[in-house]
Amino acid sequence: MKQLLLPILIILPLIGVPMTATAAASSSSDANQYIGQTGYHTQTVGDVEVFYREAGPKDAPVILLLHGFPSSSHQFRNLIPLLADNYRVIAPDYPGFGSTVAPARGEYTYSFDQLGETMLGFTDALGLEQYSMYVFDYGAPVGFRLATANPERITAIISQNGNVYEEGLTEAWNPLRAYWKSDTQEDRDALRGVLTHETTQWQYYTGAPDARKHLVSPDAIAHDQAILDRDAEIQLDLFSSYKTNVSEYPAWQAYLKEHQPPVLAIWAKNDPFFGPAGAEAFKRDVPDVQVEFVDAGHFALETHVKEIAHSIRTFLGAL
């Protein structure tokens, strides 16, 4: 019997016999079966090949995740699956970070203005007409450039230690402030210690409660250090450029005051770089801001991803 059936099974599709209902259902579900799983993609923006992670239904509301220093979209690896059932989640790597392929220093200007331009081109290329954005660390100056360029696109802002107020900058910024003021090679070279493995490890563990330090991934530390080791000069250029972000704070505050986007400031209260005052300061310009604190350090998603995901879903779900 098996010998008779085999030729028939081979021939039937060739002569147009319809698939069984089971086979048709299986085929039609192919496009949807990976919705909750993170996919890895690239998008050409000028001379840059932007790498990004994406998960969730294509027709769902978009959340754009903008990473910090010295990481990449890799920092969102645990958050994305916790949001992707109800949202289309997109997390790009900036030029100079992660798996994005960009021209060498000298052929591409590694400044925050340029990162903003590239990310603006990225959102245009993907046709993101409206989205909420999660901004962390470097993600704030990138994200607020997107917001001021196209205010109508921003449906909400989740700021996890994404600072836009001077009082949010702690004393840990003093070496950078010295470099911004002097612009000397000596002060630039003094910042090279920030790019070492010891400092990267310190950023991950400082402020994390002892009971949760085992949740900090050594792979994340190694990933970030590999980024820093590729080209220290790119990172130092961005350190220099960060002073332009501080200069833009009044413009970004004016955007908040004028447009009143819904804001969730969910702050790691033990962050050595961006203190709790940076979260409280949003109240000046967005009276309805929702401020929450978690007992975490700079990389709060390593130790408190479930709490942060719950707050995001509650916040966005209420809009």
Phi first, then psi: give them for residue 271, nearest 5 degrees.
-60, 125
Catalytic residue among 223, 298, 304, 310: 298
How many angstroms separate the Cα of 13 from the Cα of each of 4, 5, 21, 295? 16, 13, 14, 60
Beta bridge partners of 169: 274
Instruction: State the pairing for strand pair 48-55/39-45.
Output: antiparallel
Task: For residue 244, give the DSSP letter.
Answer: H
Q: Which of 214, 241, 251, 204 is nearest to 70 (CA)?
A: 204
Q: What is the DSSP string of 67-91?
A: --TT--GGGGTTTHHHHTTTSEEEE
d(CA 124, CA 108): 20
Q: Which of 178, 177, 143 is nearest to 160 (CA)?
A: 143
Q: From the centroid of its chain, how far is CA 47?
A: 21
298 is catalytic: yes
Residues serving a catalytic function are 298
